[in-house]
Amino acid sequence: MPMKADDIVALIEEALPGAVVEMRDLAGDNDHWAAKVTAPQFAGKTRVAQHKLVYDALGGRMGGELHALQLTTQAPT
């Protein structure tokens, strides 16, 4: 069963307090998502390190319950 956007947002916000998460359904099937995550924890980190923080927040759900996630990350300006 696909993950709902609200569930994805909740996991990210719980792991990264202060994060702002914007979700978009890429295919209209609730299974292919794009997320833009802005979080203070990303400051000074490489893009790879930022993405790792998000994937860690998802707790191994990528490739299973969460089929596809196009990820954009940034620190607040």
Parts of the chain with a pLDDT under 50? none
pLDDT at 6: 97
Residue 13 has a pLDDT of 98
Half-sphere exposure (Cβ direction) of 35: Cα atoms closer than 13 Å: 30
Residue 35: enclosing H or E segment and its boundaries? strand 32-38
Burial environment of residue 32 by CB neighbours within 10 A (0 to 12, 13 to 18, 19 or more): middle
H-state helical runs in 1-77: 5-15, 47-57
Domain 3-72 has CATH 3.40.50.10090: no
How high is the pLDDT of residue 1? 79
- Name beta bridge partners: 45: none
> What's the pLDDT score for residue 2?
87
pTM: 0.93
Neighbours of 18 (CB within 10 A): 10
Q: What is the pLDDT of residue 4?
A: 94
